[in-house]
Structure 1
């Protein structure tokens, strides 16, 4: 284990601009960094809890805050450390109180693609998938309704999208057009080995790494299982590539532990594919469009 902080962990990301790993703690309302940037604390309190995040081209962070997407400036060295106050960009599905943002990442073109979950006890499939950009606003993707959106990831060229419903036993894939926010050829990628799909990423050899049922499963591009990895002390919550040359694969535990792979497992792994930064240089007040 490299470090343990906070009460929970999710949405692990490599911040290439500041050379550190970042993740939110939705229980403790903190945003953590490891290693902490010089003269900065490892954690910064957030005024609202977040379970989804992405790094932005401006150096800010994009956060999924319940039903809203927001953007926050990270504290700079020498500045007083204040709680992060997010600028709200948009509210998702405002007329439906049962849904909340549950998973998301940037596509290869710098748009944020995310999904929602039904947080009510009825567990009906009312969650949806969306693409958000400051150029086009919010656009709904024509994917099946889900109980809880999960497993969103993109191939290295950005033309294949992976996704899942955490309440079902399959990982799905589709052809994805980022410019038009269009999806076609929706089909099953593979069956889950463990119930409960979670975070997912793709490496440079097009292998899919999927968190499911608290373990990490690696698939090849055809959906065949290559390996399974479990943590001894806690369930796996998220996974990300980063570090020099995208050679490190780190695993975030559900209780806030950050782990590297042992040498026998890390040897011979393909490099990761760098996360695209969310492009936030335009106006945040673009009207919502529907498709």
Structure 2
């Protein structure tokens, strides 16, 4: 995994949320509110799929008639199809502070999980939300600062959640039937010089891959929390990691770099034998 190449000339301000879906890569340019889709092995430029006009933390495909995506965007969560966004809830609409949604992903039961944060990363201002297949939105954790992930184990019985501001990754037991979170176990704690845990993915062997923002690398943990591999990335701010079609794919960012290098903001790819499940879809819900 050292033969990194930019999969297109595009450089994103805050590339995030890499997901492999239907043989293509999807990812967001978070603060600009854009969703892009591309074939990393093709010379064709990325398709610009969505422009929401508000920060777009993450997307997941949706198995709902007339809906393409579920999105964590702006101050809430919406379903998006040809008619535009239909908001399920806007739980982070606040008058006392500026909030936005951040990273998110679906589990094997079709539930969508997404975190929120205060724009200046105020300590403890963020939350984690769960969207059930009936469209209901529930706050399941609070007191977070910069939640990233989550990432689910291959059998859906546990969830990893990073709090990037504190350099921690926690593993939660999950009731696969109800989605209820149970036991919370510390999984990893990173020193500042290692970078901050950002986007994550679980591979087919149950290992956790983590993009280390500011650390210029991605790291692989075994399920017992031991470090298996550290893979250098040729720009300091890798932000998410995904696998598909024999490639490892890493989004990166130019955000807050006073002198960005030539690969800052690129989507980087390298050949790998590691495999991982494609992005899971949000479950069916009744039509409005």
Deviation per CA, 1:58-106: give whole Å up to 9, x if none.
46012211211122226xxxxxxxxx83222211233464332111100
Does residue 1:282 correspond to 2:288, yes or no? no
CA 1:174–1:47 in 2, change beyond 3 Å: closer, same or farther? closer
Quote the residue 1:250 is aligned against. Answer: 249
Relative to structure 1, is the Cα distance of residues 28 and 139 closer, same or farther in structure 2, using a 3 angstrom cutoff?
closer
Match of 1:79 in 2: none
TM normalised by structure 1 equals 0.80
Judged with a 3 Å threshold, the aligned counterparts in structure 2 of structure 1 residues 270 and 120 are, in CA distance, closer, same or farther, namely closer
Unaligned runs of 5+ in 2: 1-5, 255-264
Unmatched 5+ stretches in structure 1: 75-83, 286-291
CA distance in 2, matches of 1:180, 1:69: 20
2:115, 2:86 → 1: CA distance?
20
**Secondary structure at 1:167's aligned position in 2?**
helix
Hey, what's the Cα distance between the residues in 1 that align with 2:111 and 2:159?
Answer: 13
Aligned length, in residue pairs: 262
Scaled by the length of structure 2, the TM-score of the pair is 0.81
State the Cα distance separating 1:109 from its structure 2 match: 0.8
Question: Runs of at least 4 residues of structure 1 off by over 4 A?
Answer: none
Structure number with the bigger relative contact order (C-alpha 8 A, sep ≥ 6) is 2
Aligned to 2:152: 154
> Over residues 111-154 of structure 1, what are the superposed CA-to-partner deviations in whole Å (9 max), with x where a residue is unaligned?
10111112246x1302111110241601222x452111113100
**1:104–1:61 CA distance, 2 compared to 1 (3 A):** same
Shift of 1:237: 1.4
After superposition, the CA RMSD in angstroms is: 2.6
Matches within 5 A, 1:169-248: 169-192=167-190, 194-214=194-214, 215-243=217-245, 247-248=246-247
Query: Of the candidates 1, 6, 19, which is equivalent to residue 13 of structure 1?
Result: 19
Richer in strand (by share): 2
- Residues 6 and 28, structure 1, Cα contact 8 Å, conserved in 2: no
- What are the within-5 Å matches in structure 2 for residues 261-280 of structure 1? 261=270, 263=271, 266=272, 269-279=273-283
Q: Conserved in 2, the CA contact under 8 Å of 1:68 and 1:101?
A: yes
